[in-house]
Structure 1
Amino acid sequence: MHQDIHLRLHELRAAELRNRAPRRPAPRRPLRTRVGWTLVELGLRLVAAPPPRTARIA
């Protein structure tokens, strides 16, 4: 069999198998990772917040 024909048949068969395969949802990050990044974000917000002002009585 000619090389180009063999390659083309392989590509067609691979595409057919990909189309028949069940679709999987994107993998989700583990809960530990999501909680960790949420805590990092919260910490950065607390650090970036200006300190509370106290009332001055003149």
Structure 2
Amino acid sequence: MHPETYLALHHARAAELRAEADAYRRAAAARHPRDLRTRLGWALVEVGLRMAAAPKAATALP
């Protein structure tokens, strides 16, 4: 393959990869707050369920 052709293809592919990475970063930044809110919500549900569970009876040590 001619070096100039190879270089042109390399630049085109690099531009495609940069555009794809930018799109992925924008999508990740847009969904970040919702993911945090979801994790916090489930953590609060877990804490609430632990508080609502009946306490275990203490066992006497011999």
Q: Quickly name the TM-score band, shorter chain normalised.
A: 0.3 to 0.5
Q: Which one has a larger percent helix, Structure 1 or Structure 2?
A: 2
- Scaled by the length of structure 1, what TM-score is found? 0.41
- Scaled by the length of structure 2, what TM-score is found? 0.38
